Structure 1
Amino acid sequence: MSVGAAPAAMRCCRHVLLLWLLAADALACAPGRGHYRRRSPRKLTPLVYKQHVPNVSENTLGASGLAEGAISRQDPRFRELVPNYSEDVIFKDEEGTGADRLMTQRGKEKLNTLAISVMNQWPGVRLRVTEGWDESGLHAPNSLHYEGRAVDITTSDRDRSKYGMLARLAVEVGFDWVYFESRSHIHCSVKSESVTRGRHGGCFSADTEAVLADGRRRRFDQLRRGDVVLAVDESGALVESEVILWLDRDPAERRLFYRLSTAAGRRLTVTPGHLLYVLDAESAAAGNHSAHSARITFVKHVIEGDYVLVAGAAGAVTAERVTAVDLVHESGVFAPLTRHGTLLANGVLASCYAMVDDQRTAHAAFLPVRWAVNVRELTLHMLEHFGVRAAAAAAAARSAASEPTSGVHWYASFLYALSDYVLPRDMMLN
């Protein structure tokens, strides 16, 4: 090991050790173990007429998000709506079609949880839904009722004095936007399934291109494990790095993406929780265009006027100003992991990681994966060395043919779940 590599290895080991120590500490603090003191019940404050929580527009990312278009019974997305037959909820169903019972899975979960809260708050009273999924065109053009993401609710006794508290209970159970819209009902809505699925990963769109070691470009949906692409190392220098696995790969899944456009005409389409190398205008003007000096931040924090780092001519790294940030919904999500934890995506320097706002911590957490890959390759080399070429070839073929068809890698899922307990909230995507 070189002198320069030793400190890097030590830092890497310290990051991994920190994660496991934090995990042990989290387990010790769980109910029933270690020191635990029950919190006093928090007093709930009813919403007032025309108040909504959060205090932003319903169709913003801080609330229930953009409308994705009305869903008809002939729409392929109609299969994603689920009927709600909970006995704890009364559905008005004035149309007589059962439409009010149809909603997204997230909406169903929140509604059923709210129904229990209502019965606990007012024994003998049940939750009542007056409007759910709308296929009749009775709401505003961008209403989330058309997507099964919104419900209008009352209590079964229709006691309007309870509606302010009903709205507060809806906030507490996790509806993404709650509005005391009318004296006669409360309006609640949730984020789309594409956005909530994106909460647990960071991905690029299918048409994003990687730069291969020989200079050719290859779309992410055609990239294979074992391909060698251009990436950056800890010093910020361009290096060749092997794709060792997929953190997430699903050609059919639909998610919300940010589309960044630069002054040079470059575009990058990536999910909000992915990490990107970014410079502010002052740093870019100073000419310090290196990955080592850039801040690594979530894509959702990139704004017009920021600068992204790109690979220029002859391997030089330069900066391009972001001229537009647009929200789009697209199908196909791809998140390759390289040995260096970085790669060039449409020529833009990007991390392979998401959800945790620290490149070194994320890269250290995947050290066991890199070790496992090294052990697998060492085993193949040993088989070849001892003349067991048929076994080595068969093992290599099985490895090459084992590309995942869809889903998040199990180790990535484990880390995402663990991070909620062991990492500070300011490091996590909110």
Structure 2
Amino acid sequence: MKQFWWARLAPLGLLAACTCLGVVQGCGPGPGYGMRSRPRKLTPMRYKQFFPNFSENTLGASGRAEGKISRNSERFNQLVCNYNPDIVFKDEENTSADRVMTKRCKDCLNRLAIAVMNQWPGVHLRVTEAWDEDGHHPPGSLHYEGRAVDITTDDRETKKYGILAQLAVEAGFDWVHYESRYHIHCSVKADKSEAVERGGCFPGWARVTIAGGRQKTVSSLAPGDRVLALSVTGQVVYSQVLLFLHLDQESRSIFLSLETDGGHRLVLTPHHLMFLDPDCGRSEYQAQFASRAKVGDCVLISTAGGQTETSRIMSVSLTESVGVFAPLTEVGTLFVDGVLVSSYALLEDHKLAHWAFGPLRLLHSLEQLFWGETAKEEKKACTKTETQFGTLTSIDKANSHKQDNLSEPLTVKDQEQCFLKISHVHWYARLLYRFSCIFLDSNIFHP
């Protein structure tokens, strides 16, 4: 009998392995696995343009300045030197100051150096300014902390700088500014900043509707729960939560806050997919990155009668919160705080994402078929333990007395066992992302 079951599972395992070649990432880690090796068509940044479209010292970009670092300060020991032979350092002070930077800045710079050589064979990245100890920049400049660099190419051809700026965005710099005709300015968040975390999709206090019409926070969801979603055929249904692509109670992230004319407020990470229509019903709703949402665009919201209707976005702002959650539903969509969103992120193709996670849905179905409720209850117990013992946001704490759908906390021993089994980002999502960096065009990824 055992041979019979394994004989049936073998071709399914092969199918899952082959499907991984066409890949996409759910909510998970952001850019950082390296650059593609072949040249590709890029859209150059315009002179004076910066990305993202926020001020450098805001949470959505590189964050606040933390104070000047001098050679005799304790924080200087946290900086590193960059001796990459593929980067030309101007070092006009002859003090090697242009090689001094934070580790995050060094990593981004090294990735950019590879991208420059791939884009223009024989050309190297050139750093004209990094850490500044001489006071040549305005107060509060991130150059004083080793978190900013000014760059060019070593051939100094200014016509390349628009492309260079775009390559810097893809290399992972948190803020890129085509600042001057003669250089590009780039900066990063502080190494210890919790906002560096790019994973997650929704804050724990976001709410969904479960079967029966009750409201439940995302942080209290568990595999097996059925949440309000939209099927492929456009029907409002209750779809089963299979697992969490990302589950982290303690990570601090930057979210977009979108408010609609119907009073709905959706909070999600910028790289998450949501369904937008700039023409408000005159064209099809397309899955796009939340960062593309703007005032005047329309979203789909659920109604009391089990239907959908359009609602116009009235404001877009940034907010910061602790905890990130990415539930994967069987149909690949769900309504969060009444607004329709995708289960996927980072790659702007909802259909491809849903197809790529097909093997995971298949394995989940087989698990339920062979092992029944045992695995389901174990997952649900671990998820609830993570939720109850994790760090709650202030809103979670304020509303904790209202959450009567949570079970009693497990013992500390059970909690420790569950923590050993839980990874913040699901292994399948990590695997898909690694493959996607190799096989997919980077233009469809979130910058």
The two structures share one fold, judged by TM-score above 0.5:
yes
**Once the 2 structures are TM-superposed, how far is the Cα of residue 129 of structure 1 from its aligned partner?**
6.7
Contact 1:107-1:150 within 8 A present in 2 as well: no
1:341–1:73 CA distance, 2 compared to 1 (3 A): farther
Matching of residues 300-311 of structure 1 within 5 Å: 300-311=291-302
Calculate the TM-score normalised by the size of structure 2: 0.62
Preserved CA contact (<8 Å) 2:161 2:184: no
Work out the CA distance in 2 between the residues paired with 1:113 and 1:298.
24
Contact 2:45–2:162 (CA under 8 A) maintained in structure 1: no
1:270 matched to 2:252? The reply is no
Query: What does residue 409 of structure 2 align with?
Result: none
1: CA distance, partners of 2:114 / 2:286:
45
Q: d(CA) in 2 for partners of 1:247 and 1:323?
A: 30
Matching residue of 1:84: 80
**Hey, what's the Cα distance between the residues in 2 that align with 1:147 and 1:327?**
25
**Is 2:278 aligned against 1:280?**
yes
Relative contact order higher in (CA < 8 Å, ≥ 6 apart): 2
The gaps in structure 2 that reach 5 residues or longer are 1-14, 24-36, 170-175, 383-417
Are the aligned partners of 1:308 and 1:322 in contact in 2 as well (CA < 8 Å)?
Answer: yes
Q: Which residue identity is paired with 1:259? A: S
Residues 74-98 of structure 1: CA distance to partner in whole angstroms, max 9, x if unpaired? Answer: 9xxx99x95213446879799x9x9
- Say if 1:135 and 1:58 are closer, same or farther in 2 by CA, change over 3 A: farther
1:189 aligned to which of 186, 194, 199: 186
CA displacement at 1:256 relative to structure 2: 3.4
- Give the 3-state SS of the residue equivalent to 1:418 in structure 2: helix
With the length of structure 1 as denominator, give the TM-score of the two structures. Answer: 0.65
Instruction: Provide the rounded CA distance (Å) in 1 between the counterparts of 2:226 and 2:178.
Output: 51
Could you give the per-residue CA deviations for residues 126-149 of structure 1, whole angstroms, max 9, x where no partner exists? Answer: 9777552789896255x4436643
Aligned to 2:364, the other structure's residue is in SS state helix
Q: Which residue of 2 aligns with 1:211?
A: 209
- Specify the alignment match of 1:418 in structure 2: 435
Change (3 A) 1:18 1:320: farther
Residue 257 of structure 1 contacts residue 272 of structure 1 at CA under 8 Å; is this kept in 2? yes
Q: What code does the residue aligned with 2:323 have?
A: G
Unaligned runs of 5+ in 1: 1-14, 24-37, 43-51, 156-160, 385-391
User: Taking structure 1 as reference, are residues 352 and 21 closer, same or farther at Cα in structure 2, changes over 3 Å only?
Assistant: closer
Deviates more, 1:256-265 or 1:325-334: 325-334
Report the secondary structure of 2:310's partner residue. Answer: strand
Identity among equivalent positions (%) equals: 28
Shift of residue 405, structure 1, vs aligned partner: 5.3
Deviation at 1:343, TM superposition (A): 1.0
3-state DSSP of counterpart to 1:314 = coil
The structure with the larger Rg is: 1
Q: How far apart, CA to CA, are the structure 2 residues paired with 1:122 and 1:340?
A: 47
User: What are the equivalent positions in structure 2 for 1:2-401 lying under 5 Å apart?
Assistant: 55-58=47-50, 60-61=52-53, 66-72=61-67, 82-87=78-83, 101-110=100-109, 114=113, 131-132=130-131, 139-141=138-140, 143-145=141-143, 148-152=146-150, 171=164, 174-176=167-169, 177=176, 181=180, 188-192=185-189, 198=198, 203-283=201-281, 294-381=285-372, 392=374, 396-397=377-378, 400-401=381-382
- Match of residue 398 from structure 2: none
Q: Distance in 2 between matches of 1:21 and 1:256?
A: 31
Q: CA deviation at 1:164?
A: 6.1
Cα deviations across residues 140-199 of structure 1 (Å, max 9, x unaligned)? 55x4436643135799xxxxx97668x96993894343657598xx5631354878753x
Q: Helix, strand or coil: the match of 2:305? A: helix
Distance 2:444 2:149 in 1: 34
